[in-house]
Amino acid sequence: MAVLSQEEKQLFTGNNIVASTYTYSTWVSTKTDCVVLQTELATLNATSLTYRLESRTPLGSRVASLYSDKLTAIDGIGKIHEISEECAEMRVGVKIDTAASPNNFYASLILTEKSK
């Protein structure tokens, strides 16, 4: 299969995460053949940072967590995760465990359309 198009949707762009409850990105349409979540932790002064990828149905009535991970200072290089589920929309939520700042977090969804 050839790649027809690829688009990156930035959800967090180095945002300073300071809350111990989830801070969410906006919902992004993910009606595409392949979705990859790419994250990076640039600075962490809290002990750990937890993020989760959520999806919702086309009607927006049900929200489900697809993937979750906890990062510590040694995880600063970043991670990627390919999403196998087909979803109408996705968003990322992120929180820290202890009050300390700065905690700079990056997250993007990479959307790929392939030929059939």
Q: What is the pLDDT of residues 36-55, one digit of tens each?
A: 999 998 889 999 999 999 99
Most confident of 1-10, 28-37, 62-71, 89-98: 89-98
d(CA 28, CA 24): 12
d(CA 7, CA 14): 19
Reported pTM:
0.88
> Class of 10-114 per CATH?
mainly beta
d(CA 110, CA 21): 26
pLDDT digits (tens, 9 = 90+) for 54-71: 998 777 677 889 999 998
Spatial neighbors of 116 by CB under 8 A, at least 6 apart, are: 1
Strands 89-96 and 28-29, bridge-based pairing: antiparallel
Domain residue spans in the chain? 10-114
